[in-house]
Amino acid sequence: MTTLISQTDDIARERALDPAFSFAVQAPAGSGKTELLMQRYLTLLALVERPEQILALTFTRKAAGEMSSRILGAMAKASAGYAPAAAHEAKTISLAARALERDAQMGWSLLENPNRLKVQTIDSFCSSIVRQMPVLSGLSRYSITDEPEEFYREAAARTAALVEADGPAGDALRKALGHLGNSVKGLIDRLVIMLERRDQWLRHVRRDVSGAALRLLLEGALQRLIEYELNAIASAFPPGIAGIIAPYARYAAANIEDPECPIASLAELDGLPLCEASALREWQGIRELLLTAKNELRKQVNKNTGFPAGKGDAADRKREFQELLCSFEKFGGLIEALARVSLLPSPGFTEAEWEALEAIISLLPIAETKLAEAFASEGAVDFQAVSLAALKALGSEDEPTDLMLSLDLKIQHILVDEYQDTSGTQLALLEALTRGWTDGDGRTLFVVGDPMQSIYLFREAEVGLFLEARAGCIGTVSMEPLTLSRNFRSHEGVVSWVNGTMEQAFPSSEDTFTGSVVYSPSVAVKQGVEGSGVDITLFSAKDDPAEAEKVVSILKSIPSGESTAILCRSRGNLRLIVDALKKEGILFSAQSIDPLAERTSVRDMMALLRSLSHPLDRVAWLACLRAPWCGLTLSDLHALCHKDRQGPVWELLNDPAKVESLSEDGRGRAKKFTMEMAKALSVWGRSAPSEVLRGRRGRGTHDRAVRGPLGYSWS
């Protein structure tokens, strides 16, 4: 079986290098997708007229830099006659050699001019488009702001300020505020949230749809969602269960006193309700009949659920149904599915809800305009503004801009990494770039990703877009699906554990509407090692000290020549682990987790540096007096400074009366510190600060070394 999968994987990898076709490749973790992208790029380099005809798009600068360096590195190795032993690397070097031949033939000199390789992040590519069409895109000179929220809030405040205005804007604001209890802050906060995510809704609110037509459109979306969920819930019912429940449901409906109770809708139930939005009330009735308010299986029923107390038939019905409920405990999947009914929205808006929603929808374009004004006044934008401006600069399908026509001639092949994290805006960009492309015209689109690793949902990344690409096309470009299955990163034990565990966490079928993804198992290339692939230790309760102790014990059991990574939920959970590593003398590297600047010895050294640099820096001088090399007590510090809160500490240390007010131990410490600091200050400015702090021999008139506050030799 493993051999068959490996052969299939080899066929897929070879197929992916066919420059005449477009592909959507699913590449799980460790499958070598970066190398496949590089091989595809090298294959295309051997065919194009100019390297600029190939555009590779990534999500991060690191990924773009890695791809560029690996492409150039492969070409450099091929140029040097490098002969690798591994088959996959030999393939890469062979493709690089062909690219070099094309490079020499066309006179590109890529190794000397690497900037001709168009490997960019999507954001930087959008920026390059905007810079070429500043007027049409609406952006001229600008900088990307790292803190756009202040602009969102300003735009929201400007929008709210129109509350007294006449016309549609003022009317919409007053209606929206009315539904928010006239809370201006509440409205501004909501507009800020919407402006942060405007790439998700802007293209929708710009449609020529309003009023009743817009309401039907939005309610239709709600109904499709409800019907999708109801179909999934219905499939969770074991065969025959619905027929058993139906008589008791009808009985309960006939005895319900409250007509508003959902169970009352089950009076004519003879099976499962239809999986339609119009039948939502009946589904809510079934949930109410079987589950409690906490979505747990009912243990008891009473008159509120249609089973009043009584004798004879009433008692029998109640007892039978309670026994039936107990038998449902084995249907955990059914209970979990029915619980989702309580989360489903109403299939239609009430008049009050629609009035509020319509008012807010009408405010969104106004807020977006105010945001553009706020950005323009400061010459700043966020990444969303750049992406939207790039789309604008390319024009529409009916009216493409000159830039779009120019790019259409320049770009012949597009490669996209991490396509599972593509958003609707980024898809629109790809569709714009590939307008008019047809199968077999020599232009190709190549996307690679892993829907199981989608992480950017907060940026409107839609896994469904990846599934749609594999199922059909992107824009006008037909995509052929390919799947890689071999894992080159982890050994057999880890891969087997991941396959067995994760397969249960993923749905059994794909669905583009909800982004449901089926787990795709991998096959390990590396052979297993001694011991199990994955060991799990579970704690019954939160116990950070025990967790830190366990981490240390695991690290001690690992051979010294191996490296280990510690992954944690958050940085806050690492505090005790970091302390334990320090205590045990285990060396580690942790960016932004245990910064040197936070260590006591470094902070003391910085205080000393500031004291020497700024005689009037009172805080730094007091820190030096408190540091281990001097060690004055708080009472001695108070005695030294409390009557003179403005004077330099250095002058106070040289005041005999002040020093005499200290304790006997404090006087000795202060005098020694003053003597050593005087020697250091005498050479400050004539020797490099680092030399003075290190205590190295200085130059000039001072030829002998002196001992400084830290115990170092100062010259």
What are the two backbone dihedrals, phi and then psi, of residue 135, each rounded to the nearest 5 degrees?
A: -75, -50
Give the C-alpha separation, 571 to 569, whole Å: 7
Yes or no: say if 486 and 7 are a contact pair by the CB < 8 Å rule. Answer: no
Residue where the block lists tokens 């033939």: 105
Q: On the CB side of 441, how many CA atoms lie within 13 Å of its CA?
A: 16
Q: Is 643 helix (H, G, I), strand (E, B) or coil?
A: coil
DSSP output for 583-640: HTT-----TTTS-GGGSHHHHHHHHHHHHHH-TT-HHHHHHHHHSTTT---HHHHHHH
**Running DSSP on this structure, what letter comes out for residue 394?**
H
CA angle 287, 291, 296 (to 5 degrees): 135
- What is the tens place of the pLDDT at every residue in 67-88? 999 999 999 999 998 888 888 8
Give the C-alpha separation, 209 to 641, whole Å: 73
Give the C-alpha separation, 504 to 498, whole Å: 10
Q: Is the pTM above the cut of 0.75? A: no
DSSP output for 178-213: HHTTT-HHHHHHHHHHHHHTHHHHHHHHTSS--HHH
Instruction: Give residue 209's pLDDT.
Output: 66
Give the C-alpha separation, 219 to 346, whole Å: 9
E-strand stretches of 224-312? none
Strand-pair category, 444-449 with 413-416:
parallel
Yes or no: say if 485 and 9 are a contact pair by the CB < 8 Å rule. Answer: yes
- What is the tens place of the pLDDT at every residue in 94-110? 999 999 999 999 999 99
Strand-pair category, 713-714 with 480-483:
unpaired
Residue where the block lists tokens 């999986």: 275
Yes or no: say if 15 and 23 are a contact pair by the CB < 8 Å rule. Answer: yes
Q: What are residue 445's DSSP bridge partners?
A: 414
| CA-wise closest residue to 502 among 570, 450, 429 | 450
E-strand stretches of 433-585? 444-449, 473-474, 477-478, 480-483, 486-491, 523-526
Strand order in the sheet with 23-26: 118-121, 54-58, 413-416, 444-449, 23-26, 480-483
DSSP output for 529-551: -SS-S------SS--HHHHHHHH
Note the residue count of the chain.
715
Largest CA distance in the chain: 114
Q: Which domains, from first to last, does the chain contain?
A: 2-123+385-505 (3.40.50.300), 239-330 (no CATH), 544-594 (no CATH), 598-714 (1.10.486.10)
What are the two backbone dihedrals, phi and then psi, of residue 531, each rounded to the nearest 5 degrees?
A: 85, 175
Residue where the block lists tokens 């920026």: 127
* Residue 247, C-beta contacts closer than 8 angstroms, at least 6 positions apart: none
CA angle 530, 536, 538 (to 5 degrees): 155
Alpha-carbon distances of 395 from 128, 391, 405, 406, rounded to whole Å:
16, 7, 10, 12
Parts of the chain with a pLDDT under 70: 1-6, 135-138, 140, 206-209, 408-409, 454-462, 512-515, 530-532, 594, 695-715
Give the C-alpha separation, 620 to 612, whole Å: 9
In degrees to the nearest 10, what's the CA dihedral of 434, 435, 439, 444?
-10
